Amino acid sequence: RRAPRRAAKNFPSMKELLSNLIEALREELKQYGEMLALLEQQQQLVMQRQVAELPENVSCVNSQAGVIAAARQEREQHQRHLSRLLALPETSGITMLIPLLPSDYRPLVDALVHENNELLTRVQQRARQNHLLLSHCVDLMQQLINSIFPGVSPTTYDGSGHVPMAAVAPQPLYQAVG
């Protein structure tokens, strides 16, 4: 009798693997929600011209991206374990697993996968919106700088990814203003 108990400890049960996968899906969903909240905050900061708070928000967004990556890796690991138990290739997508799950687990797993996909889509949309908004702000600032100091700074990047800055010849104040 001891041998089967050891084997059971070495090989997690379907219920244990499902529980782990469900928890990982919930955690991933939570982290996507956190990212969406940060991106919405970022958009509000830009719209309300509270630029002093943007660097901290950007730092939080970058940190949250790392948290999401870790949550996704955790979920993928549990997904691979379940695939092995179901005698599927480890690379099997979660949609291939769902029909093979016990019937009482299918609706929950399917709903969590659906919610994760919907929230990920919203995060991607908000990130694109914020990118466009921030790019527009940078373009407006570049236009302002160019109107104050004409011909000073091109808007193209050099080979190293930097915008080269042209030397500004000092001008007397009356020439710059007048």
pTM of the model: 0.75
Q: Could you give the C-alpha distances from 62 to 43, 68, 74, in angstroms and in order?
A: 15, 10, 19
Q: Which amino acid is at 82?
A: L
> Cβ neighbours of residue 21 under 8 Å, at least 6 residues apart?
75, 78, 79, 82, 109
- pLDDT attached to residue 178: 45
* pLDDT at 141 (0 to 100): 77
- At 77, list the tokens: 């690991």
Cβ neighbours of 115 (radius 10 Å): 16
Give per-residue pLDDT as tens, 97-153: 999 999 999 999 999 999 999 999 999 999 999 999 888 877 877 887 888 887 665
**Predicted confidence band of residue 155 (pLDDT cuts 50, 70, 90):** low
The pLDDT tens digits of the residues spanning 73-105 come to: 999 999 999 999 999 999 999 999 999 999 999
